[in-house]
A and B are shown apart, each in its own frame.
Chain A
Amino acid sequence: MISFVLQRVAQSALVLLVVGLVAFSMFRFVGDPIDNMLGQERTIEDVERLRAQLGLDQPFAVQYYRFLEEAVQGNFGVSYRQGRPVSDILLERAPATLELAAVSGFLAIALGIGLGVFTAIRRNGLWANVIMSASLIGVSLPTFLIGILLIYLFSVELGWLPSFGRGETVRIGNWTTGFLTESGLKALILPAITLGLYQMTLIMRLVRSEMLEVLRQDYIRFARARGLKERAINFRHALKNTLVPVITVTGLQLGSIIAFAIITETVFQWPGVGLLFINAIQFVDIPVMAAYLMLISVMFVGINLIVDLLYFAIDPRLRVDRAGGH
């Protein structure tokens, strides 16, 4: 047991290190931050001085080693653009992304399952067909286009919802929330739909096909034969058995909701970590880019580690250390 866990943790750590190495080897292709940091009237001497000061004249492996050395002590450096510690900036921006991800994740699951069941039960109905066709849009249109379309419809033409930003926020300790103000809630709607639409259609189609599969099973027929109510059959017996794969997929999608928030945040000027990352790329703000990429990879690696450990808990065949006895 312990050796299995250690093995997986060691693998995860190795993945993180490789991600960091790849990220640092890419940074020099993003460009040179010096010109953004110095004004028009800089001299070539100033450029060289600042580059040496920031350690940018060193090979990327050395830069990476220095980053790691600081990072293990919890220090992610200072943003080139803002001149403030990166960890402060990330903590400041994280609530916006997490709230957006939570709301769109919730929307995706609730609507996805609801519509999935509906389209499965009424699979020849008019509405079910309309929903199925419409869901193709969610799968095929790129996120930024959906965002722009929603902005034009609901902000510019109808004037119902704000076109950008997060509205008024309330500060609770270190957390800022948009859940407690009217403008904050309004501002959440369009970005949450944009971000969650793809996952919603994915879950919907998954639930529908699983549900159709389950509805053909014998035990459903027997349930019908016993004269159980349709609702009890559909929701108590059929849906429960479709949820296992749905939960697996949803869990894995959670990470990508946060990672894909980049595009949604850019379109809606949503002040989260994704927008921060885009700005960092434009400015070649290496400390922010490095910290963000590490954070996202820690998240993905973490989710995978948990999934692995869960499998271990569920599936006895994986318990290699005990396998010999039986």
Chain B
Amino acid sequence: MIRAFLLASTVLAAPAIAEEFKWAETTDPQTMDPHAVNSAAVLGFLNNVYEGLVRRGKDMTIEPALATSWEPIGAGEGWRFTLRQGVTFHDGAEFSADDVIFSYQRASDEASDTRSWFAPVSEVIKVDDYTVDIMTTAPNPIFPDSIANWMMMDSGWAETNNTTLPDKESGNHATLNTNGTGAFKVTAREPGLRTVLEPNADWWDTAEHNITRAELTPIQNPATAVAALLSGDVDLINPVPIQDAERLAANDAVKVIQGIEARVIMLGFPHEADALKYSSETTDANPFADAKVRQAVAHAINVPAILQTIMRGNAEPASQLVSPAMRGYSTPLADRPAYDPERAKALLAEAGYADGFSFGLKCPNDRYLNDEAVCQAVTGMLAQVGITAVLDAMPVQNYWPELRADNYDMYLLGWSPGTFDAEHPIRFLAATPNEEKKLGSWNFGGFSDPRVDELLPMIQSEIDDAKRQAMLDETTKILQDEVAYVPMYVQPLVWGAKANVDLTQRPDNFFILRWVTVN
């Protein structure tokens, strides 16, 4: 029965010879529940299994998935989605408006990690079986963009299996089992060991891939992953350690696929602090409260040199909090401050620190690509203009609590906007922290600018693209002039695959199996 089923799917789906595909990633998705954990590992994997109303294409643009079309309601009261008819879940149940309502209730519950996506939503209304109105408290032009990872779950399946709400703490049926509408279904799941996928023969869309079975294995040790690829035990590894990329590229049997991720790596400052915490002499003042000092830091850092030596030419410099691939990027403000140590020294002198000062730089050592090496380079570059950083690098589990406790004088941060829009980092990194409004929750240094706070809600509700972009440009300009952060570069994506594998790499670092062909 199963074999006949597989055979059928092969005939339908495979343009070439059917293939088994194995891939390895550093992290295993910690759950199969699409609403429990909002992390790239989980959402990236589940994009192969579950689907949302909309999805992102190869170039990250929003395209129809379970909704065939959508349009704003009135003057921005909400969005009306027309649902695709004839879509079935993997267990055969039909997809309809009730599942959207259910998935909204499930994904926006307090128990769900995806709850923040629905902060602008006031109500979700079923108009008929295939039409849903999502009402928002204020006009929300990017709402369809922000729900590409909101995945639809069957209400009947969830009720039968007693999993109407996610349970992160102790898990439930949906933690280990799936029932999506996507191109693949999970046929075996052993957490931390392997997850097996097989094509969904009844998928509504035309399959581009030629895979008959796929298996994901987490491999934590980078050297083991590289060996697994070279020995042919796996077809793809993500990521390839930067130092191995060149060696792999020279090997004919494999290829290295490079791109840039959505993640911008930057330096952050203690804007609110009264004094430095880790200085040996400047214990009663906070030089970083002065914009001139922050500008000096921006000019002191030789980003091209960092990219050349530490990233081996694989990354791109960044001028703002988002990469050029994101919606709302400010093209006129694409230049980052030039590397100019003399100017940096002059700025420091103007600010009254001609003799420099010492301070503490906090850095993670296992969060971003070569993060500690980058911080060491930054330390060296700052020393050349006379300010001495005492570097303290630590594992990320220790890092965030330190930042939350304000134990830093300068810190390294990477930010990847979940919505792929320039508004996202403004909301989390630049808005004045406000627990009630859920603003500035990653703005550790407490940067605050009244104009930015004023612009943010206007950006969020502006329907007109040109006006919205003008406001984004204005915000970016303020953040650049004030040097709220020092954006340095966009982190690279480096995947390794066998030479006979064709695939598409997206800047969100999601591995989309339905675009893979094994030749």
Contacts and interface: CB of A to CB of B under 8 A. Distances in A.
Interface of A: 29-33, 35-45, 47, 53-54, 78, 81-84, 89, 92, 148, 151-152, 155-156, 159, 162-165, 266-269, 271, 275-276, 278-279, 282-284
A51 to B, nearest CB: 10
Contacts of A275: 192, 220
Nearest to B437: A43
B354 to A, nearest CB: 39
Given A41-B418, A155-B233, A164-B233, A82 B227 contact: no
B227 A151 contact: yes
B334 interface: no
Interface residue range, chain B:
35 or more
A84 B224 contact: no
A296 B428 CA distance: 43
* A30, A162, A269, A278, most chain B CB atoms within 10 A: A269
A299 B30 CA distance: 29
* A78, A156, A278, most chain B CB atoms within 10 A: A156
Interface string B426-455: 001000000100100110000000000000
B167 to A, nearest CB: 7
Nearest to A31: B397
Interface string B401-437: 1001000000000001010000000001000000100
A83 B175 contact: yes
Contacts of A282: 220, 366, 395, 397
Contact of A32 (B114, B171, B400): B400
Nearest to A83: B171
Given A165-B217, A279-B192, A82 B30 contact: yes
Given A31-B396, A81-B30, A279-B192, A151 B441 contact: no
B398 to A, nearest CB: 4
A266 B220 CA distance: 7
14 contacts: A39-B37, A40-B38, A42-B441, A44-B435, A53-B169, A148-B224, A155-B230, A162-B233, A163-B224, A164-B233, A165-B217, A268-B224, A269-B228, A278-B220
Contacts of B428: 40-41
A83 B399 CA distance: 24
Contacts of B30: 81-83
A214 B366 CA distance: 54
A29 B418 CA distance: 30
A40 B442 CA distance: 9
A276 B117 CA distance: 33
A276 B192 contact: yes
A29 B39 CA distance: 24
A141 to B, nearest CB: 15
Contacts of B366: 282
A266 B396 CA distance: 20
A89 B176 CA distance: 13
A159 to B, nearest CB: 6
Contacts of B232: 159
Contact of B38 (A39, A43, A278): A39
Contacts of A148: 223-224, 227
A65 B374 CA distance: 42
A38 B217 contact: no
Contacts of B435: 43-45
A267 B398 contact: no
Contacts of A42: 113, 116, 441
A32 B36 CA distance: 19
B82 to A, nearest CB: 28
A44 B441 contact: yes
B167 A269 contact: no
A31 B223 contact: no
A201 to B, nearest CB: 24
A82 B233 CA distance: 26
A163 B228 contact: yes
* B218, B220, B416, B418, most chain A CB atoms within 10 A: B220
A323 B224 CA distance: 59
Contacts of A162: 231, 233
B193 interface: yes
B191 interface: yes
A81 B28 CA distance: 10
B213 interface: no
A81 B114 CA distance: 17
B398 A83 contact: no
B169 A83 contact: yes
B398 A155 contact: no
Nearest 5 Cβ contacts at the A-B interface: A31-B397, A39-B38, A83-B171, A155-B231, A41-B116
A271 B400 contact: no
B418 A78 contact: no
Nearest to A284: B397
Given A39-B113, A151-B224, 10 more contacts: A31-B399, A40-B428, A83-B168, A84-B171, A89-B191, A164-B217, A165-B233, A267-B224, A269-B224, A284-B397
